[in-house]
Chains A and B, each alone.
Chain A
Amino acid sequence: MIELRGVTKAWPGGAGVQALDLTVPEGTCCALIGPSGCGKTTTLRLVNRLVEPDAGSIRIAGQDALAQDPVQLRRGIGYVIQEGGLFPHRRVGANVAVVPALLGWDAARTRARVEEVLALVGLDPAVYRDRWPHQLSGGERQRVGVARALAADPPVLLLDEPFGAVDPLRRAQLQEEVLALLKRLRKTVLLVTHDVQEAVRLGDSVALMRAGRLVQHAPPAAMLARPADGFAADFLGADRALTRLGLFRISDAARDAATVPGEALPEATTLRDALSAMLERGVRALPVTEGGSLSLEALLASR
């Protein structure tokens, strides 16, 4: 669990973060979004004290983070940044072993853990452990970055646009995969992204910031349904209702028993894609692979 209370940080040039209250419950992911320069990165770096707050309190797993030694604190928090930040003079295995080495683990335990986390992020240890960072693709580098952050098994992870530099085609899948992994490991995650679609797909909650202040913090579907103000509505986009439909699947909607003609869609299809199929086919009902059909009325009612 991460708890920020009244956290304030002023930069000499202005902006920063003002009186921020934010709680990320244990085992959940909070996606921080907002326009560039609104203070997302500052907020993230306040949590591991790469930035020291002027005021406020920060608790991690119930412990006062500001009372701890910052260096020790950081060894217990996973940190992944956009450019990866892998050490170019160390092989993949040594990069992943950085925090275990700082914590004084013995060689055998470190080696076993390096293999374990590389496998977790989908990299075969036998292939990747002895490679150099410059021999990896952008996506592979970021996977190593995640493995490195997971190495000492920290309960909390901070991700700052972790896949922003990965090409857009692979990014969605990589994000999805990594967040599913973090969820499975029951990590508490604070994720910075500037992409609304990514935030609502990956966050259990979404925190929207503007000029150093928290505008709204809510589950994705709730935020998309009820933006707090005009700024939030604008930021979420004119298509926010469609974005929201993308969060639900046919299996979430009421099903008609009636069979209708046409190509059937599996019930894992999002309601957004189902609506798109209705528009494309000019029909008010679609057959569902698993049986029955989805009507336009049922789709609208499930909002």
Chain B
Amino acid sequence: MRWTWRNLDSIGAALGEHVLLVGAALLLAAAVALPLGVLAARRPVLRAAAMGGSAVLYSVPTLALFALLVPLLGLGFRAALLALASYAMPVLLRAVVTGLEGVAPAVRDAADGMGLTARQKLWQVELPLALPSMLAGLRVAVATLVSAATVAAYIGGGGLGVLILTGLDQGHTEKILVGATLVCALALAADVALRRMQRA
């Protein structure tokens, strides 16, 4: 444990980087998935393309995706961020589309019939009703990202993966354990927090 006590600040920095990577990737993914999902839920052709494309994207192994993106984006935080975002985006997109499609036709019809504008219907009726599905998608995305972000270390993205990677390199068991434990703890904490939100 001596190493841990002496390196608390760099461990903290790695944890901070990890959280930042996951948070930023989530925001980026949501910024694409939400509008795209809203559009796709209304247009069958776009829906088919978006759902098909996202299934393919999500099925690519994490490391392979990172490797594929390196020639395009190079190394570093930005590359890792984009790779992670493109990994989470399909999950969120599916959740948005599924959630919106789950809104009962009678509820939409009533909303139209009472004189809600398309925008009012979206914000006051459709998105609130899609929220449970979107939160479920968010949980999956966060769990995926927390673990996928570990791999970001391979392309110089930073985060807790660096502890594990360098630990492995140096045969430094304590370092590996600290990194791995923190990744697990982060995943669990995020999941508990999101489950609370889902219930509320």
Binding site for B on A (CB under 8 A): 48, 50, 71-77, 79, 81-89, 98-99, 102, 145, 148, 158
Contact = CB atoms under 8 A, between A and B. Distances in A.
A81 B114 CA distance: 11
B116 A102 contact: yes
A98 B106 contact: no
Interface of B: 104, 106-107, 109-117, 120, 125, 128-129
Given A50-B109, A72-B115, 11 more contacts: A74-B113, A74-B115, A79-B114, A85-B104, A87-B107, A87-B111, A87-B125, A88-B107, A89-B129, A102-B116, A158-B113
A75 B112 contact: no
Contacts, number: 60
Contacts of B128: 89
B109 A85 contact: yes
B113 A48 contact: yes
Q: Which 10 A-B pairs have the closest CB atoms?
A: A85-B110, A75-B115, A79-B113, A74-B115, A83-B106, A85-B106, A89-B128, A71-B115, A85-B107, A99-B114
A77 B114 CA distance: 8
7 contacts: A48-B113, A74-B113, A77-B113, A82-B106, A83-B104, A87-B125, A88-B129
A77 to B, nearest CB: 8
A105 to B, nearest CB: 14
Contacts of A158: 113
Contacts of A74: 112-115
Contacts of A76: 115
A71 B129 contact: no
Nearest to B125: A87
